[in-house]
Amino acid sequence: MKKSQLLLLIALMLIATVFISACGASGPKTIKIGINAPLTGDIPKVGEGTKYAAEMWLDDINKDGGLDVGGKKYKVELVIEDNESKADSATKANTKLITQDEVLAIVGPQSSKQAVPAGEVANNYKTPMISPWSTNPNTTLNRPWVFRAAFLDPFQGVVDAKFISDEFGFTKAAVLYDVASDYPKGLAEVFKKSWEDLHGAGSVVAFESFTTKDTDFSAQLTKIINSGAEVLFVPQYYNEVALIVQQAHELGWKGPIIGSDSWGSAETVKLCGSDCYGSFFSTHYAAAGATGATKEFIDRYNAKYGYVPDDVAALTWDSLNLLKQAIQDCGKITGDIAKDRQCVRDALANIKNFPGITGNMTFDDQGDPTKCAVIVKISDKGEFEFYKQACP
Amino acid sequence: MAVKTNTSTTGAKTGRLAKAWQPFTRVSMLSWLVGAFAAVILEQLVGRPLAYMLGLGKIPVLFGFVMMLKTPLLIPSAIVYVLLIYIFPIAIIARLTTSVGNKLSAWLLRYPMAVSALIHLILLYGTLQIWGSINDYRNLVLRLTFIAILVTLSLNIINGYMGEFSCSTPGFLALGAYGASVISVSMFANDNLFGPAIFPDSWGVFVFPLALLLGGIIAAIGSLVVAIPSFRTRGDYLAIISLAFTFIVKSFIENLEVVGGPRGLSSQPDWANFTVVFIWVTLGVWIMNNFVRSTMGKALNAVRDNEVAADAMTVNTRRTKMVAFMFSAFWAGIGGGLFAHVLRYVNPATFGLQKLAEVLAMVYFGGLNSVYGSIVGAVGFNLLSEALRPLEIYKWIIIPVLLILVMIFRPTGLIAFKEFDVHAIIAPKE
Amino acid sequence: MVSFFQNLVNALQWGSFYALIALGYSMVYGILMLFNFAHGDIFMVGAYIGFFVATGLLALTVSGSIALPGWLVLLLTIIIAMALNSIVGMLVERIGYRPLRDAPRASAAITGLMIGIILETGNLALLGAQRLSFPPLIATETYNIAGVNVTNKKIMIVGVALFLMLVLHLFITKTKWGMAMRAMAYDFAIIPLMGVPINLIAALTFGLGSALAAAAGILYGVAYPILDPYMGILIGWKAFVAAILGGRGSILGAAFAGFLLGFIEIFTATIFPSTFRDLIAYSIILIILTFRPHGLFGEAYSARLRL
């Protein structure tokens, strides 16, 4: 490359630069929303559900020609970051979203192990963040800028314990959970406590655990079967549910198996098959027999991506709509990002009885929603049927 | 014929590159640092308006890589920005100050070497601090990269200098992170596990080093679990002993409800700012560099190359191994403590097989038996994984492919078996 | 007592997987002195190949072009997947290991680790994030023998695993190829001078190991019918522990250690509170290795180990 060629190249670059900057400057005003999701790593399915729900939500906004805030249409841009299912990466992603991309608000991360440290970042930078799926109390505790869309373990565990006692009249329960993952562990402990409150100490006759990614549960299940338990509570994710239920039946377990909201995925039945028919679980919504907005969401998602959405997708959808509501309640976008964030946060905190597809939501002073749970039965056709509702 | 032209063009190319480099061969480290310092000041002053003028919107965080991948249209602007803000100023100032810088370097070396080294370090610190102050994301990446240097180097002592294949780093990191966090969280933070803070946050300056040291010491004691079996075995068997150690530590912490079990510990006080991280990491690198260049380091190499012969040559192999493991674990523990306080959250799941693969990749990518290598490995790997972020899933195909290529063409890593000679670095170049 | 036998049966099944995967590690390790950290992911690929072969065969059966009973489909699946996966294994060897034959062994371990990540991520990028459900090829039948529940699947899995181990053992001890492999394990430098084609033998070693991994993957799919791109990581690392616990290059040792690891994991979960399973199980491994530092069946450490 000769000197003249180099100069020519630089000149060309400068021209291109000026041209692009001219284009970039006259764009419409946009609202940026960050999505922090685990697209790779342990739970890619969760990341996929988040991404799909967010894209569907964006399509809706775009169809309306933008987000209507105080009579003005704003273009919405999603900035999706992969947190690789790692705590440090989630922190980096949040910092990048807030300080570099200057998003108005963040939806995600999903798992508590990323949401707790990422929530710290959001709170420090005074940026509203909604974690759709995290159930660890620390995610929102003393963090006025952090909200969540899921109900917490202490509520759900009690609901499950009460439901089993009322429905079957059992007094001896067994629990099988993942000791290395905080959602199942938290729920298992709350369930144990509330069960023993109902039936006295020692009424949880087997309290067995395994470690994330295990696939063989025969030792624990053998112990559970020999303990004389009448019901098995499995607060696990759907992939483990399928294995646990099948292995339990192979080892001769006859009683009912009860689960939690993490069962609420189309994959549960797909992976588990007829072994799961007749089981109950507590969750946010029942896909079969859903009505109104919930049904519409499920059908559209199903048509677009080819499967019934998980609870993650539904909660992400709700979180984004909560955010939309808050932005609209805010009334105007000033362009001063700090002011707008403050305004959105206040609006979020003041939302009352938001009609989400996973139930009506009102945030308490910690940013946790108070909402009802439903008990769902897996029918003999493998559909999630509404069975009962339980409110706090 | 074709081959011939081919070689001649590449020859010419390297020739041209060498020619372009010619004016810079005599530039001392001092001049480079001054140039870099000037560049970051320039960015501080005109970065924002320049970035706006170029249509970038804001200052590109990591030299524009992230931007380029997201909107390829901005590639020319980003290149122009990097040229104008970093490359030209650094080159011009480095060239202009060549003779002054060399004279100054020579003059400084008349005093004890520490003086000159300290001045270089202060310049480096100032440069990075100003560079990082533009944007907190940059700052965070910088801090985590520095910690990665410390951790990578600590593993290099075992895997590179001593020639073992240790998989215990995640375990040491976890011990250090929890050791330091227990002190800081229990006494200085309002959290729901240990209750309200007992002491004011301002004591952090004094307590944080102690907390980190405690974490390091716990990790060093924990390393005995791996070090003692290493007296009788090595290589493959030691690899799985160390792997078992990692599993044991993770399982142990998961069962330790006092520190939160799988939920982890959060709300660590915000003590690990860039200054603190910088001081600890430079201290660590300096001490580890001295360690591997001492007779102890030679003993490590002797154990690696031939343990029996080393024993015959009066190297106390047991003592060598034990010291090396404890020393390495200590610094990994310090790294873990810093990591926990940068993230302000720590949980056992972080210290699993994924972390292990990451640290191993950094060590072997950078280069065995080399402090340079560890620095290059940690910085390269971290920058790469941040720069390729917009590629989402494909990032984890491209990074491994790059690493495989490095391994195939340079089997011992990018910069292996090279001494990190501080004197040669800071000396004048004429 | 009933519960003891029940756990014994469970441990036999669980140990079969460790043993089959550990054999692949152990062969590569014994013959080429390499850690093949991609092996867990080769196991994953084997399971996925098995999934597609089985689904394909079932689709043919349903469409009526051929009528095959479930057990035959399973048998065919195992054979086809073993063949295909051995090609994958040889490719991995060609790309990731052969260029590094003279490099430090640890460098080759790193390429293995990276190939593993490529296989995982590539799978994720190609097939998307959903988990696949392995088709139930044979109906589960549960036999209750004196209070112990045994399924036909369990019997089949342990049987096939033992059969494959026996075949491998015979191959290595009785055939010319096996002799070449043993010779290579004995001395890496001299053997090429004797006219043994080392590249071919190395490829064969990887191929055989990967074929076994594919068989393990399909049996795994039968027992735990959920496939995801990251399924090979944990079981792979644990089988690696078993392979080395068995002793360097000892095929029988690796198989035995695989079963032993299965027993340790199952019985620690049974006897102690199951939350302490990993803690206790790996402490036991650590103690075993402290007292038998060269594995259960390994020869004593010699100074010519190169790393």
Sort strands A280-283 and A373-378 into parallel, antiparallel or unpaired. Answer: antiparallel
Closest CA to A313 of A370, A321, A390: A321
Task: Tell the burial category of B386 from Cβ atoms under 10 Å away from its Cβ (0-12, 13-18, 19+).
Answer: buried
Q: Sheet containing A369-370: which strands, arranged edge to edge? A: A354-356, A359-363, A369-370
Say what the pLDDT of residue C155 is. 92
Alpha-carbon span B294 to B288, nearest angstrom: 10
| Structural domains of chain C, count | 1
Contact C277 A211 (CB under 8 A): yes
Most confident of A176-190, A365-379, B52-66, B111-125: B111-125
Tell me which residue range forms the domain holding B106.
24-112
Say what the pLDDT of residue A19 is. 56
Alpha-carbon span B24 to B37, nearest angstrom: 17
Q: Are B64 and B79 in contact (CB under 8 A)?
A: yes
Q: Are residues A185 and A218 in the same domain?
A: yes
3-class SS at C258? Answer: helix
Q: Does the pLDDT of residue A365 top 70, yes or no?
A: yes
pLDDT, averaged across chain B: 87
Contact C142 A250 (CB under 8 A): yes
Alpha-carbon span B191 to A277, nearest angstrom: 43
A contacts of B20 (beta carbons < 8 Å): none
Within a domain: B79: yes
Q: Does the pLDDT of residue B80 top 80, yes or no?
A: yes
Task: Report DSSP state, residue C305.
Answer: -
* Selected residue of C2, C3, C5, C6 to mutate for chain A interface (largest A Cβ count, 10 A): C6
Lowest mean pLDDT among A13-22, B63-72, C56-65, C198-207: A13-22
Final residue of a domain: which of A283, A310, A337? A283
Most confident of A63-77, B12-26, B195-209: A63-77
Final residue of a domain: which of B46, B77, B112? B112
C contacts of A47 (beta carbons < 8 Å): 129
Q: What is the pLDDT of residues B215-253, one digit of tens each?
A: 999 999 999 998 888 877 767 788 888 999 999 999 999
Within a domain: B71: yes
Give the residue, A150 or C211, on which the prediction is more confident: C211
Say what the pLDDT of residue A16 is. 59
**pLDDT bracket for residue A94 (50, 70, 90):** very high
Within a domain: A1: no
Of B360, B368, B393, the CB nearest to C125: B393
Within a domain: A19: no
Within a domain: C162: yes
Say what the pLDDT of residue C304 is. 38
Looking at the complex, report in whole angstroms how far the Cα of residue A259 sits from the nearest Cα belonging to chain B. Answer: 21
Mean pLDDT of A317-334: 91
Chains that touch A (3 or more CB pairs under 8 A): B, C
Contact A218 C234 (CB under 8 A): no
C contacts of A218 (beta carbons < 8 Å): 6-7, 10, 13-14, 266
3-state percent breakdown (helix, strand, coil) of chain B, nearest 5: 80, 0, 20
Question: Which residue in B has a C-alpha nearest to residue A94's C-alpha?
Answer: B137
Within a domain: A62: yes
Q: Is B71 on the interface with A (CB under 8 A)?
A: no
- Say what the pTM is: 0.88
Alpha-carbon span A281 to B230, nearest angstrom: 50
Within a domain: A64: yes
Structure tokens belonging to residue C231: 């399924």
Q: Are residues A276 and A316 in the same domain?
A: no
What count of CB pairs under 8 Å joins A to C?
99
B contacts of C103 (beta carbons < 8 Å): 407, 411-412
Q: Are residues B50 and B188 in the same domain?
A: no
Q: Does the pLDDT of residue B181 top 60, yes or no?
A: yes
Tell me which residue range forms the domain holding A363.
30-150+291-370
Q: Does the pLDDT of residue B8 top 50, yes or no?
A: no
Tell me what ipTM this predicted complex has.
0.86
Contact C10 A210 (CB under 8 A): no
Q: Are B152 and B359 in contact (CB under 8 A)?
A: yes
Alpha-carbon span B368 to B320, nearest angstrom: 19
Q: Which amino acid is at B15?
A: G
Q: Are residues A232 and A117 in the same domain?
A: no
Q: What is the pLDDT of residues A245-281, one digit of tens each?
A: 999 998 889 999 999 888 877 778 888 888 899 899 9
- Residue B148's CATH number: 1.10.3470
C contacts of A246 (beta carbons < 8 Å): 225
Looking at the complex, report in whole angstroms how far the Cα of residue B162 sits from the nearest Cα belonging to chain A. Answer: 30
Determine what percent of chain B is predicted with pLDDT higher than 90.
41
Within a domain: C149: yes
Looking at the complex, report in whole angstroms how far the Cα of residue C292 sits from the nearest Cα belonging to chain B. Answer: 9
Within a domain: A336: yes
- Residue A342's CATH number: 3.40.50.2300
* Selected residue of C117, C245, C274 to mutate for chain B interface (largest B Cβ count, 10 A): C117
Q: What is the pLDDT of residues C181-225, one digit of tens each?
A: 888 877 777 888 888 888 899 999 999 999 999 999 999 999 998
Please list, in sequence order, all residues whose beta carbon lies within 8 angstroms of the beta carbon of residue A187, skipping any fewer than 6 positions away: A135, A153, A156, A157, A177, A235, A260
Alpha-carbon span A137 to A141, nearest angstrom: 6
Give the torsion sign (CA, B397, B399, B400, B403). positive
Within a domain: C207: yes
Element spanning B393, H or E: none
Within a domain: A20: no
Within a domain: B128: no
Q: Which amino acid is at B175?
A: L
Give the residue, B161 or B189, on which the prediction is more confident: B161
Q: Are residues B145 and B93 in the same domain?
A: no
Contact C274 A222 (CB under 8 A): no
Looking at the complex, report in whole angstroms how far the Cα of residue C122 sits from the nearest Cα belonging to chain B. Answer: 7
The three state secondary structure string of B134-193 is: CCHHHHHHHHHHHHHHHHHHHHHHHHHHCCCCCCCHHHHHHHHHHHHHHHHHHHHCCECC
* Selected residue of B156, B236, B238 to mutate for chain C interface (largest C Cβ count, 10 A): B236
Q: Does the pLDDT of residue B2 top 60, yes or no?
A: no
Please list, in sequence order, all residues whose beta carbon lies within 8 angstroms of the beta carbon of residue C292, skipping any fewer than 6 positions away: none
B contacts of C25 (beta carbons < 8 Å): none
| Structural domains of chain B, count | 2
Tell me which residue range forms the domain holding C73.
20-230
Question: Which residue in A has a C-alpha nearest to residue C277's C-alpha?
Answer: A210
Q: Are residues A105 and A175 in the same domain?
A: no
| Structural domains of chain A, count | 2
Q: Is C143 on the interface with A (CB under 8 A)?
A: no
Q: What is the pLDDT of residues C125-182, one digit of tens each?
A: 998 877 888 988 888 888 888 878 888 999 999 999 999 999 999 998 899 998 888 8
3-class SS at B233? Answer: coil
Q: What is the pLDDT of residues A58-88, one digit of tens each?
A: 999 999 888 888 888 889 999 999 988 888 8
Within a domain: A6: no
Alpha-carbon span A55 to A65, nearest angstrom: 15
* Selected residue of C93, C286, C292, C305 to mutate for chain B interface (largest B Cβ count, 10 A): C286
Please list, in sequence order, all residues whose beta carbon lies within 8 angstroms of the beta carbon of residue B278, skipping any fewer than 6 positions away: B125, B128, B129, B146
